[in-house]
Every structure is written in C-alpha cells, then in structure tokens.
Amino acid sequence: MKWTVEFYSIKIENEIIKWPKHLQAKFLKIVELIEIVGPCDIGMPHIKSLKQGLFEIRAKSDEGIGRAMFCVQSGRLIIILSSFIKKTQKTPDSEIEIARKRMKEVKNYE
C-alpha cells in the first residue's frame, strides 16, 4: 500500500520550490521513496527521528543542506510540517518547536 505525502500549508510547499534545484531534486527523490516504502524503511542518512513522533527529511547537495520536518498520520499519511535551509551545524530549536506545535495541531484535528 502506497504512502501519501502532503504539506501542512502551501507556504511550506512554496519554500521548498524556492530551494536550489539540485537540493530540491534530492528532497523530491527522498519523498518519492517515502511514498513507495514508507519512512520507517528508509532511515539515516535520509530520515532521522526527532523523537515523540517528529521526523526530519535530510536532503544534501553541493548547494546546501535542506531539512523538512514531518509527522505520520493514520492511514499512511505524511504531513510535511516545516522546511528550511540549514545555515548552522545544529537544527535550530525554533524550527523544531514550530514543527512540534504544528504536529500537535494536526494530531488534534485527526
């Protein structure tokens, strides 16, 4: 059974569309893989658990490093909650908090 990937908002989708083309291509390749096999069968270096149901897609190219945080909903649905281009070694806590807040919102809606 196939997985479905959706965006929390059009704003997040547009942010990823603005990523450099090779970085965006890496991201889309990982998303395609998620749709085929699911996030649990991929793992590092492409998918990392941030604990408590939050995960990140880790895309990397010569153009930079992109991250997109997501959660898994029932029915094999993945919701991309946030995205950004990394500028520091560590993922900013503010980005993780935004994703956790949105995850709580979509889980409550479920």
Average pLDDT over residues 69-84: 93
Q: What is the pLDDT of residue 1?
A: 67
CA distance 63 to 78: 26
- The string of pLDDT tens digits covering residues 16-60 is 999 999 999 999 999 999 999 988 888 889 999 999 999 999 999
Q: What is the pLDDT of residue 110?
A: 63
1, 11, 96 from 68: Cα distances, Å: 23, 13, 10
- Name which residue leads in pLDDT, 97 or 41: 97
State the DSSP string of 64-79: EEEEEEEEEETTTEEE
Q: Which CATH class is domain 4-109?
A: alpha beta
